[in-house]
Amino acid sequence: MRHLSALLEKEWMETLRDAKRLVLVAVFVFVGLLSPLMAKLTPELFSLIADSPGMSGIRMSIPEPDIFTYYEQFLKNMSQMILFAVMLAFMGSVSQEKAEGTASLVLTKGVSRIVFLTAKFLSVLTIISAAYWLSAILFLLYTSLLYGTSVIAGTWAALSLMWLYLLFVSALVLLASTFSRSIGMSALLAFGLVFFLMAVSALPVLRDWSPMSLSALPSRILQGLATFRQIIRPVITGILSIPVCLLLSSWSFSRQEL
C-alpha cells in the first residue's frame, strides 16, 4: 500500500509536468463548451451561407436545434475527438518509461510490477474521470444558458455510459502500451485494437455484448429507444474489461526484461 501511494504521487507529479495530459484536460473542457455552441450556431451559419450572393437560388433548410441536437453534438465529439485525444495522450504511459529506463529504476526499489501497473491504471482512469465529468458539467451549464434547460430523461444514464466507454478505451491504450517497447508501436497497437473491436462489434453475434457499443447507446437512451437488455450487456463487459486489461498487462509485463 505504501508503494502504491508513492507511485500515485509520482503519477500526479508527472501529470502536472506532462504537456500532453494537460492538453487533454483542456480538450475535454473545450468540447464541453464548444459542443452546445456548435449546435446553436450551425443553422445560423448555413443560413448566412445560403444568403450570400454566390449561393443565390440555392435553398438550404436546416432545422432549429433542439435539446437532442445539443446532446448529439456533445456525444459525437466525445466518441470521436476525445477518443483520439485519449489515445494520443496515454499511448506511451508504460512503453516510454520502459524505453527511458524509469520503469526498471522504480522496480529496483522493491515495487512489484502489478503495483506499478495498478498505479498507472488508477492514475489514468482518475484523470479521464475528472476531465470527463468537468466537461459534462460545463456542457450542461452552457446548454442550460443557451437553451433554457439541460437535464432531460436519460441524461445521467447517457453521460455515464459515455464515461464508461472512455474508461474502457483508456484501459485498452494502457494494455497496448504495456505490450510495446516504443511509443510508435504502442500507437499502432492501440489504434489496431480499437479498430479491430469496432469491426468485431459489427458482427450480430457479438454486437450486443461489445463494450464498443457503449458509444452509440447514449443517443438511443435519450431518444427512449434503448432497452435494459441492450444496455446491461455492454455495461457488464465494459466494467469487466478494465480489470481484465490490467491483468493482461501484468501478465505481459511480468515476462518482459527491462
Q: Could you give the residue ranges of the DSSP H alpha helices within 52-154?
A: 67-77, 83-90, 95-100, 102-107, 113-147
CA torsion sign for 63, 134, 94, 116 is: negative
Residues of the chain scoring pLDDT < 50: none
Q: In this predicted structure, what is the pLDDT of residue 173?
A: 92
Number of domains, the chain: 1
pTM of the model: 0.89
Query: Distance (Å, rounded) from C-alpha 70 to C-alpha 37?
Result: 8
pLDDT in tens, 158-200: 999 999 999 999 999 999 999 887 888 888 888 888 888 888 8
Separation in Å, CA 222 to CA 41, 95, 140, 159: 22, 39, 14, 10
Could you tell me the residue range of the domain that residue 176 belongs to? 2-254
Q: In this predicted structure, what is the pLDDT of residue 55?
A: 52
Can you tell me which residue has the cell 438511443?
Answer: 220
Please state, as a whole number, how many other Cβ atoms lie within 10 Å of the Cβ of residue 167.
23
Q: Side-chain half-sphere of 48: how many Cα atoms within 13 Å? A: 4
pLDDT in tens, 4-23: 888 888 888 887 788 888 89
148 close to 39: Cβ distance less than 8 angstroms: no
- Show the CA angle centred on residue 191, arms to residues 78 and 234, nearest 5°: 55
Q: In this predicted structure, what is the pLDDT of residue 199?
A: 87
Q: In this predicted structure, what is the pLDDT of residue 155?
A: 94
Can you tell me which residue has the cell 456542457?
Answer: 139
The kind and range of the H/E element at 38 are: helix 19-51
Q: In this predicted structure, what is the pLDDT of residue 133?
A: 97
